[in-house]
Amino acid sequence: MKRGQLPRLDVEDGFPQGLHRASGVVLRRKDARAASQSLLLFLRSHGAIWVSAPGAGGSKNRFGAGTEPLAWGNFDLYQSPRRLYLKGVDVREAFWNIRRSRRALSAAVSWCGELSSRLPVRAESDNLLSLLWGSMKNLACGIDPTLLCVRFAWRWGNLWGVAPSLDSCSSCGASILDDPGGAVLRTRIGLLCGRCVGGRDEALHKPMTPLILRDIFLSATLPLDKFAPWAAASVQNAASREMDDCVQWLYSFL
């Protein structure tokens, strides 16, 4: 596909020709020709799908907020012999309160960006769609964005079976939470205790402080009824650069 060219959606790749309705969220949009846009939707039972949205570009968007990234709703679609078109949107949740907070908006946009770059097109992933919905609801409730980013990244990896263990050494299996003074390194294969580092290339290792290790573990694994009140008291550590680095480390396993 040439640079700047929008993806073509052939009939054999998805819906049969005709009208369809599906629920989900807008992950990404791209300007197309004239007043049209191309949208990447993440739909229940269908996964990530590119659709053409004629009339969505320019100053007069006939779909209103329905083509905005982060907008959730029911999408009316038409599969022609050549393309899948957006015919209408019934917006159910636009998350305007998230858009009013720079940190919250940055977190939500990052989730959509990571999904856009990693989701296979037209592969159903309803459990991941539910994770995104729950994460955005928690974000809208005021839970710290960085802690939610940790939770989202690890739980996504857990759904795909690639998330690293956060309470044991990836090499020997020894507990790394019971010894708060012990050395813990995050690596490309997971967390390693000090005994298992050996002669490995140090350039691949980043030390993890005991407080950050604890917060990463609790952010990822606490049930929601315990996570929300705990997160409210953990904002100081959540603001650290090390927490942001850990989020990118978790994404590296996807």
Residue 11: its pLDDT value, please?
37
Residue numbers of the chain with a pLDDT score lower than 70: 1-14, 32-34, 57-59, 179-182, 198-204, 235-239
How do residues 213-244 score in pLDDT, each as one tens digit? 999 999 999 999 999 999 988 765 555 788 89
Rounded Cα–Cα distance for residues 183 and 191 (Å)? 10
pTM above 0.85, yes or no: yes
With CA atoms as reference, report the closest residue to 103 among 239, 250, 229, 251.
239
Residue 4: its pLDDT value, please?
40
How do residues 60-78 score in pLDDT, each as one tens digit? 777 788 888 999 999 999 9
Residue 180: its pLDDT value, please?
57
Residue 201: its pLDDT value, please?
58
Distances (CA, A) of 64 to 61, 71, 99, 167, 168: 5, 11, 16, 46, 49
Q: State the DSSP H helix or E strand holding residue 107, giving kind and residue range, or none if neither.
A: helix 102-118
How does DSSP classify residue 14?
S
What is Dmax (Cα atoms) for the chain? Answer: 64
How do residues 35-52 score in pLDDT, each as one tens digit? 778 899 999 999 999 998
Query: SS3 letters for 32-87?
Result: CCCCCEEEEEEECCCEEEEEEECCCCCCCCCCHHHHCCCCEEEEEEEECCCCEEEE
Rounded Cα–Cα distance for residues 226 and 222 (Å)? 6
Amino acid symbol at 213: L
Rounded Cα–Cα distance for residues 71 and 62 (Å)? 15
